[in-house]
Chains A and B, each alone.
Chain A
Amino acid sequence: MSGFWARQRWWLGRVIALPFQLLLFAIIAFFLVRLIPGDPVLAVTGNQVSPEEYLAVKHRLGLDGSPITQLFNYLGRLVQGDLGESLISGRSVFDDIRTRLPATVELAAMSLLVSSILVFAVSVLIMFRPRNIISRAAVAFSRTAGSIPEFAVAIVFIFIFYAKLNWLPAPLGRLTPGSPTPVVVTHFPFLDALLTGDPAIIGSMLAHLVMPVAALVISISAVLLRLLNSQVEVEMQKPATRFRISTGAGIGTVILSVYRRALPGTVTMAGALFGNLIGSAVVLEGLFSFGGMGQYLVKAVQSADLTAMQGFLIVAAALSLVIFLLVDIVNMMLDPRRRPGVGAKP
């Protein structure tokens, strides 16, 4: 039995570390909010407040008592999933985030999925037909890595495909106004649309998603493609690849072998990009009037809604930590040399 657990250590250790990292992040967020220059209570209420009101707001902010009691109160509520109440609207921050964040995450995840498939396909093409016209165009495109802002692409798309050609629907929401809306089940809009099974709703939502997803795909694919391509080039020259080719292994085996070694760097990058994609999705939601996390967050920032931001910070951190966990596990599955306690050098 101990042998079994020893063999599972590589991923178990990583999973067990997660709650501790989250705790650390929560403590950092706690102190970050207390780093704000000036008195947060006055920043929220303005200068003209009665002493009772002042104390009430202070209590709502969780700022009464010594820093240590504050920290423990805050962590205690956090464990129960209570992120406090918005200072402006008085609604539960957790509920607000739960209804809005899924839409943003869905947009980011769809873009990442589409660009992963595209990048993988194109990199295989480049591997076999490097002088093909598509391969050359793709390599040239990958040089622009990181220098195309997604909102620039989106604005150009809106101008061409909506204003001029009118091929795609107006950037005014996820569905054409007046059309039936799917029942909210999961808060993931596209998933909800799929659950209705109504082809009209699914089609309408897909048409509205084309432009923002394409803009996000364009802005991140270049980065992924450039990295994957350079890694594949390096791994193609390695003795391991030559050995497989020279022993007459099938083409699938060779591809598998090369990509097992070349992919981890790109997977890590994709994980890191997912966080940035959420940020970009926030920007695009404003442009396409999608109403996800974007407007909520900007409103919170503009009205200095501290609890809302503190709550969002923790949720965003939790999300990135889970993504990083997935990245590590995928990488360790792809390339066992990356598991802890393995001697061989990758």
Chain B
Amino acid sequence: MTGIAVPTDVQEPQVPRRGSSKRSGRRWLLLTPALAVLALAIVGPWITPYDPRKVVARPLLPPSGDHWFGTDDNGLDVFSQVIAAARYDVLIALGVVFFATVGGIAVGLAIGMNESQGGPVGWFARLMSRSVDFIQAIPSMLFGLIAVAFFGASTLSLVIILAVILSPYQIRLVRTEVLQVRGEAYVDAARLAGTSEFRLTLRHVLPNAVRPAMYYMSVIFGVSIMLLAALGFLGVGLPPPTPEWGSMVSRGASGVSSGRWWPAAFPLVFLMTTVAMVALGFSAFQRRDDKR
């Protein structure tokens, strides 16, 4: 080819409009799967065709009209179990997201604002910062295993344990952001205007420092569902007969090598679909320029 190719399909760069009807319409559409998951978590245990904790048929029946997802090796209905498990898995994960994010923002703000101060306050903030690094240095699975051994596996203890394991990510995100916002002119302006340090943090630093943590909530959700399932898989999650996806997969896994895939496969599919749907839901709130 000779000469210079002249691009013919050059378009004027479009100025993105905020909240344009087309985009926000799509936003709400993205949110529906996540809402469906939430609805399932709330009504799940009431709409199961069989009691998820009782033996209802012969063990290891393949999927059929009576038992849509078959029965497991104890004769429990897999479909009922999977549906009922949504409540435990999703609600625990939501609890973890809430506590890890709220706690992460509070601690991140405290560390970020005081880190470079002198005196005991700054010293304490730096100590906190180091301890956060320490928690993060311990592999989360092992931390979870050992914490469960110490504090037992109930819904509440699992929420707290997982929130403690996952909050360092939020703390670090907020801290990094605070360190940047702290130097902005409007913060100095507010300080000169006589705003108290506490109010300044709340009014000016907080709103400008939490965006990354907000976006990270979907990752926290996914990771906590996964960790919860892995703990259940190892047999140290919620004790049976509480329906839980991870322990269902674990009990079904031994049958997979002999071709009985349904007790393990259906909870797995639900597990991964839930994570994907919720991630999609969170992406509705993400701006284009925030994607990394």
Interface residues of A (CB under 8 A from B): 24-25, 28, 32, 35-37, 146-149, 151-152, 155, 158-159, 162-164, 170-171, 230, 272, 275-276, 278-280, 282-283, 286-287, 294, 297-298, 300-302, 304, 309, 312-313, 316-317, 320-321, 324
Near A by CB (< 8 A), chain B positions 252-292 give: 253, 256-259, 261, 264-265, 268, 271-272, 275-276, 279, 292
Which residues of chain B have C-beta atoms less than 8 A from A309's C-beta?
146, 149
Contact B272 A316, beta carbon cutoff 8 Å:
no
- Residues of chain B from 110 to 159 with CB closer than 8 A to chain A in the complex: 134, 136-142, 145-146, 148-151
B150 touches A317 (CB 8 A): no
Most buried by A among B149, B257, B271: B149
Q: Is the interface of A mostly helix, strand, loop or mixed?
A: helix
Q: Which residues of B contact A272 (CB under 8 A)?
A: 136
A317 partner residues in chain B, CB cutoff 8 A: 137-138
Residues of A within 8 A of B229 (CB): 149, 151
CB-defined contacts of B233 to chain A, threshold 8 Å: 151, 283, 286
Q: How far is the CA of A316 from the CA of B139 in the complex (A)?
A: 8
Apart from A148-B272, A164-B259, list 6 A-B contacts with CB within 8 A: A24-B134, A149-B230, A155-B249, A275-B138, A279-B141, A320-B137
B40 at the interface (CB under 8 A from A): no
Q: How far is the CB of B166 from chain A (nearest CB, A)?
A: 12
User: Across the interface, which residues of B come within 8 angstroms of A324, CB to CB?
Assistant: 137
Among B215-263, those with CB < 8 Å from A are 219, 222-223, 226, 229-230, 233-236, 249-250, 253, 256-259, 261
Inter-chain CA distance A32–B149, complex, in Å, is 12
Nearest-neighbor residue (CB-CB) of A297 within chain B: B145
Expressed in whole angstroms, the minimum distance between the Cβ of A24 and any Cβ of chain B is: 8
Tell me if A158 and B139 are in contact (CB < 8 A). Answer: no
CB of A28 within 8 A of CB of B234, answer: no
A275 touches B137 (CB 8 A): yes
Report the Cα distance A309→B145, complex, angstroms: 10
CA distance A302 to B148 in the complex (A): 9
Interface pair B142/A163, CB less than 8 Å apart: no
Specify which chain B residues have a CB less than 8 angstroms from the CB of A158 in the assembled complex: 253, 256-257
Contacts of B138 in A (CB 8 A): 275, 313, 316-317, 320
Contact B222 A147 (CB under 8 A): yes
Can you show 9 pairs from A to B with CB atoms below 8 A apart? A146-B219, A149-B229, A149-B272, A282-B145, A286-B250, A302-B235, A309-B146, A312-B146, A321-B137
Find out whether the CB atom of B236 lies under 8 angstroms from the CB atom of A301: yes
The answer on a CB contact under 8 Å between B142 and A155 is: no
A278 with B146: CB separation less than 8 A: no
Q: How far is the CB of B159 from chain A (nearest CB, A)?
A: 17
Q: Is B279 a contact of A147 with CB atoms below 8 Å?
A: yes
Provide the bound-state CA to CA distance between A152 and B226, in Å. 10
Query: Known: A25-B134, A279-B141. Is A313-B150 also a contact (CB below 8 A)?
Result: no
Which residues on B sit within 8 Å (CB–CB) of A164? Answer: 259
Q: Which of A37, A170, A171, A278 contacts B142 (CB 8 A)?
A: A278
Give 1 or 0 for each of B69-89: 1 = CB within 8 Å of chain A CB.
000000000000000000000
How far is B253's CA from A158's CA once the two chains are assembled, in angstroms?
A: 9
Question: A283 and B230: CB pair below 8 A?
Answer: yes
